Amino acid sequence: MFRLSQIVGFAATIAVCSSPVFAHTGHEIGRTGIQGFLHPLSGIDHILAMVSVGVLAFCVGGRAIWSVPLAFVLMMAVGGALGAAGVELPGVEQGIAASVLILGALIAAAVRVPLLCATVLVGAFAVFHGIAHGLEGVGNGVVPSSYFLGFIAATIALHGAGIALGVTFNAAERTRPLQRAAGAVVGLVGLVMVFG
């Protein structure tokens, strides 16, 4: 079984050594609440990362079921505000791809992630997702609050779907391997995004 530090170190090395990826492409710029809601649902990178946050939260258990997704939502909002202000953090695309890779790897390896570590990890990833959302939602120098509320609502829904998947995967002994297999698929998609 892999250790958390090994998985994070491996994924970070890949992300740093790879060329820039465009994991966050193909989204149309939109500024309404509906467009904000649809934005995270229109890219496989966001869907996989946000659902994986929910699965990971369920796996950590206890307070993590609400605190890990909450950390993601709050830090994504911070990142969104930074993006709306025109802040372009270097490596946003790599950060988004790494979030898919690392979250998938953690789920696949069934690593017991401490609550604080899970919270900090998803919070850091959320900043990258938020910056991307904020940059794409800017129109005439501002991002409407309805757009922000839309992408936050979609993120919460995707986290909820991930928690529901975690419950389903862990409902019986025979379904638990499906969670690891799903994590492996997510991690491989992230690996493809990193090397895109």
Whether residue 141 is predicted with pLDDT greater than 60 in this model: the reply is no
> Whole-angstrom Cα distance, residue 76 to residue 131?
7
Indicate the average pLDDT of the chain. 84
Mean pLDDT of 43-55: 95
**Percentage of the residues of the chain whose pLDDT score is greater than 90:** 55
> Whole-angstrom Cα distance, residue 66 to residue 115?
11
> Whole-angstrom Cα distance, residue 52 to residue 64?
13
Can you give the residue ranges of every domain in the chain?
A: 37-195
Q: What pLDDT score does 184 carry?
A: 96
Q: What pLDDT score does 143 carry?
A: 60
Q: What pLDDT score does 148 carry?
A: 85
Work out the end-to-end distance of the chain between its first and last CA atoms, rounded to an integer number of angstroms: 28
Overall pTM surpassing 0.85 (yes/no): no
According to DSSP, residue 185 is labeled H
SS3 142: strand
